[in-house]
């Protein structure tokens, strides 16, 4: 009897040790992802590509971090598969063709949290900022501990800038056979 209890205790401690090792690896990977910078490069067709390491979060961590964002788009944290937050900036300098009737210098400045415009005599500088939240989720029917009938996955995109509109959105879910 003592030997059986000892073997059972050894098996349980080994299992718990493995779970802790997996959790430590997940946390180390998250720390590495948070400390790494975004990588940007040009693709073969000359387009800009950005790449970042992915964090792995539990449902409780997602609930803590994205509480307000998920509430604003009516998604529960337990249904979330992935979430991506994108912050984008666009800068442009434009040379203006102007006809001056008098010799006064024309200048204009406009600035708000999302848009910064500076116009001088012959150039216009435009700086546009945008922030986007992309959440992929799927709902399932549940009764007690049984889950059945998974609804098709959905992707919600929240655009924070009042100057931008999302015109096209494609979401692809890969299913392994």
Percentages of the chain per state (helix, strand, coil), in multiples of 5: 30, 35, 35
Distance of CA 135 to the CA centre of its chain: 8
Per residue in 115-167, pLDDT tens? 888 887 778 888 888 888 888 888 777 777 776 666 667 888 888 888 888 88
69 has which bridge partners? none
Model pLDDT, residue 18: 92
Residue 111, CA atoms < 13 Å, CB-side half-sphere: 3
Please state, rounded to an integer, the average pLDDT across all residues of the chain: 82
Helices (H), 74-131: none
119 has which bridge partners? 108, 124
Residue range 100-110: mean pLDDT, rounded? 69
- The encoded tokens of residue 61 equal 């961590």
- Residue 99: pLDDT over 60: no
Q: How far apart are CA 127 and CA 115, in angstroms?
A: 6
CA torsion through residues 56, 61, 62, 66, sign: negative
Higher pLDDT, 93 or 141: 93
- The encoded tokens of residue 100 equal 């001056």
Distance of CA 154 to the CA centre of its chain: 15
**H or E stretch covering 17:** helix 2-35
- Residue 93: pLDDT over 60: yes
Pairing of strands 140-143, 48-51: unpaired
Model pLDDT, residue 102: 60
Rg over alpha carbons for the chain, rounded to the nearest Å, is: 26
Per residue in 20-76, pLDDT tens? 998 899 899 889 888 888 888 888 888 778 888 888 888 888 888 888 888 888 888
Model pLDDT, residue 17: 92
Q: How do the domains of the chain map onto residue ranges?
A: 1-56
Model pLDDT, residue 21: 92
Model pLDDT, residue 155: 84
- Residue 12: pLDDT over 60: yes
Model pLDDT, residue 177: 62
């Amino acid at each position: 009897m003592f030997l059986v209890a000892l073997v059972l205790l050894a098996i349980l401690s080994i299992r718990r040790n493995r779970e802790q090792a997996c959790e430590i690896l997940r946390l180390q990977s998250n720390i590495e992802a948070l400390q790494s910078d975004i990588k940007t490069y040009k693709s073969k067709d000359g387009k800009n590509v950005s790449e970042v390491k992915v964090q792995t979060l539990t449902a409780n961590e997602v609930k803590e971090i994205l509480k307000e964002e998920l509430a604003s788009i009516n998604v529960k944290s337990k249904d979330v598969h992935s979430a991506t937050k994108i912050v984008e900036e666009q800068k442009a300098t434009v040379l203006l063709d102007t006809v001056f009737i008098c010799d006064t210098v024309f200048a204009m400045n406009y600035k708000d949290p999302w848009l910064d415009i500076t116009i001088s005599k012959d150039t216009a500088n435009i700086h546009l900022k945008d922030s986007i939240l992309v959440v992929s989720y799927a709902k399932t029917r549940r009764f007690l501990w049984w889950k059945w009938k998974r609804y098709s996955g959905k992707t919600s995109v929240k655009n924070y800038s009042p100057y931008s509109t999302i015109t096209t959105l494609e979401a692809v879910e890969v299913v392994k056979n």
